[in-house]
Structure 1
Amino acid sequence: MAGTLRIHLSDADFRHVRFARTPDPIWEAVLGLHVLTAPPGPLPDRLRRWRKRARDRVLQHDLRGTCRLLNDLAPAAAYWPDFLTPVESEEGMTAGLRALRETPRARLARELRETARHRALPAWTRRLADGDRALLDDIANALRHFHGRLLLPDWGETEATVAADHARRTAALDGGLGAVLGAFTPFTWQDPVLSAPYPVDRTIRPRGRGLRLIPSFFCHTAPVAIADPELPPVVVYPLRPCDPPAPEPGTRHDAALARLLGANRARVLEALLATRTTGAVAARLALPPSSVSGHLTVLRDAGLVTSERAGPHVLHTLTPRGRHLLGR
């Protein structure tokens, strides 16, 4: 990274730092687009797996036009218009898309002018800058289709990964917010400045408005911040990798564990080295969800796994006994 993001937190800001509990659907759609169009080599394993599935779904649902439209406005670049990621998406996709559709003409023109300073824009964006509501509807629908077709089938894994991150932050709160920020990868905390590698040098001064920090399943390099300093300060950050390197198959430990538990039950246990939903485990292991659910019941009854409801999903996590059994 060529630059540094620096966030100067006053005492008032420090009291109003918030970590999002759930993934933001519109931010995840935009960042998922970046993963979809990125070379697979540098991506972490979980995103390479998602990218392969998503590219198949693009062809299956003929979403190439949808992806082109979004990529014209929000490619993986140092800047894209803030109106594409409205703060209202904190309340969900419906609220976020409603706010996007209601973006004032003056804001569209201002942010597209700023975009044009960074890269050439296609001719149709001139109509958008003039306030073309039909085009704005097309963009909102493209985000909805992208999320629904490409992200929603794996949303359980996304939510589980974000929930695990939030649980780590909450546990660290025993030492106060300073302790949370002090262990906040990829950031560095030197009171009163929170900093991280960034594509360019950037300074954010919330001026008493606090800071909303959003964990993202699809953000995998540097944090991403809202560009307009007049908007509520929002920073999206990459989740700490929670998938450990896969052990070499066929080791004596693996074979012994499979004999003890059964091959598939041992695989389910190992999949929970990262907190996951039943559906996420099933997708990861290519097993029927009903079969995974049965294995989880046995593992939970044996004290190897705990399960906790988080909204519409149930998150499964290894107990210390389960980790010990895996040798982790």
Structure 2
Amino acid sequence: MLRIHFSELDLARTRLAASSDPLWEIAGSLHRFQSRKGRWAYAGWFRSARLQLHRRGLERAVRNVLLPLYPRATYFPDFLTPVGTDGSIEAGAELILATPGRRIRHEMALLDRAVGAPAWVGQLADLGTRKEFVRLLHDYHEAVVAPYRDHVRARVDAERAARCRALLDGGVEGLLASLGQGSGMRWRPPVLEASYPEDRDLYLNGRGLTLVPSYFTWGQPVSFADPDLPPVLWYPLLDEHRSPQTDTDSSGRSLVALLGRTRAAALHAAVSGATTGELARAAGVSASSASRHATALRDAGLITSVREGAQVLHTLTPVGASVLRAAGQGD
């Protein structure tokens, strides 16, 4: 178990990241290849990812280079998921390239002690080798992560909307308490307990905590191994993962159904996030009817839904936002 200890100053400095972290999503996706746990939740992605890696000739590089560096174990090198990417893989790549060779050698020694590491990993301390490695990360990201960018963004936006509601209702402690719903975490003031492969304590010491929702993280959150690094906790999205829809005919039929007044009103209500009850009030229908309309909107890929306690919060997907923008331009 991981126990994260908060002071009042830490609570004031705790924040929720604005987006997922592309370098962490790379790490999480590589972990998905190494475990059958949660495979059902990524079934569509898993099939597509394997096909794209084969088509691009990346299978051997992933097997021989990436998987040994990102083992699904108690440790993999911290420098591979640097702080400060601001949602940009390019910024993350620059941070990896700027990592001192001394730190890389130290972390590779830790990796070797934890799970064993190929002899070549020490070469990453050389800038030229690291540049080749960063190019491989770009190629991998473009093949299996970038194609799901809009879907991941929609899921993360829905998660942020749910956590922000908890923040408005109960402050930072309310936000931390809301993380306990299906994420392997529990808020016991002043400690956030998280399911973890090893027993450790992390004292924030006034630095605060950055919470980063992650699409490819499954089952339990992950933090840096080095307690001196800025405190970050990558955690799994709290509702059931679902692969993006690929049945375009089905989506098309659902979009035609949206031309009705009730669903248009519900779609507008979801702009800033709305519960099923709020959709019902906006559309002037019963809660059960609003739930059915929300299902149609969700099947069409226009909204995404996340459970927040006894309620379900609905927010727009990028596609849904585009539909509303187009409708506004046509008025």
| Length-normalised TM-score, structure 2 | 0.77
- Structure 2: distance between partners of 1:316 and 1:144: 37
| Matches of 2:258 and 2:292, distance apart in 1 | 19
Corresponding residue of 1:81: 77
Q: Greater shift after overlay, 42-51 or 172-181?
A: 42-51
Q: RMSD of aligned C-alpha atoms? A: 2.7
Shift of 1:104: 0.4
Tell me which residue corresponds to 2:103.
Answer: 107
Choose which of 245, 266, 271 in structure 2 pairs with 1:284: 245
**Consecutive aligned runs of 4 or more in structure 1 exceeding 3 Å deviation:** 288-297, 299-302, 306-310, 315-322, 324-328
CA distance in 2, matches of 1:76, 1:154: 22
Q: Number of residues paired by the alignment?
A: 280
Match of 1:323 among 271, 280, 291: 291
- The aligned amino acid for 1:49 is G
Q: Indicate conservation of the 8 Å contact 2:49/2:144, yes or no.
A: yes
Paired residue for 1:98?
Answer: 94
Shift in CA distance, 307/135, structure 1 to aligned 2, threshold 3 Å: farther
Alpha-carbon separation, structure 2, partners of 1:57 and 1:142: 14
Query: Structure 2: which amino acid aligns with 1:81?
Result: P
- SS of the residue corresponding to residue 284 of structure 1 reads coil
Structure 2: which 5+ residue stretches go unaligned? 281-288, 296-311, 313-331
Per the alignment, do residues 215 and 292 of structure 1 end up closer, same or farther by CA in structure 2, a change over 3 Å counting? farther
Structure 2 counterparts to residues 63-82 of structure 1, below 5 A? 63-68=58-63, 69-82=65-78
The yes-or-no answer on 1:144 pairing with 2:138 is yes
Q: Which runs of 5+ in 1 are unaligned?
A: 244-273, 275-279
1:161 is matched with which residue?
Answer: 155
Deviation, structure 1 residue 302? 3.9
CA distance in 2 between counterparts of 1:316 and 1:57 reads 37
Partner of 1:116: 112
Tell me how far 1:145 sits from its aligned partner: 1.3
User: Does residue 1:295 correspond to 2:295, yes or no?
Assistant: no
- What CA distance in whole angstroms lies between the structure 2 residues aligned with 1:308 and 1:110? 48
Find 1:240's aligned residue among 234, 238, 241.
238
Output the CA distance in 1 between the equivalents of 2:233 and 2:197: 14
Does residue 135 in structure 1 map to residue 141 in structure 2?
Answer: no
Percent of paired sites with the same residue: 32
- Map of 1:29 onto structure 2: 26
After superposition, where does 1:297-316 map in structure 2 within 5 Å? 297-298=258-259, 302-306=264-268
Alpha-carbon shift at residue 26 of structure 1 (Å): 0.5
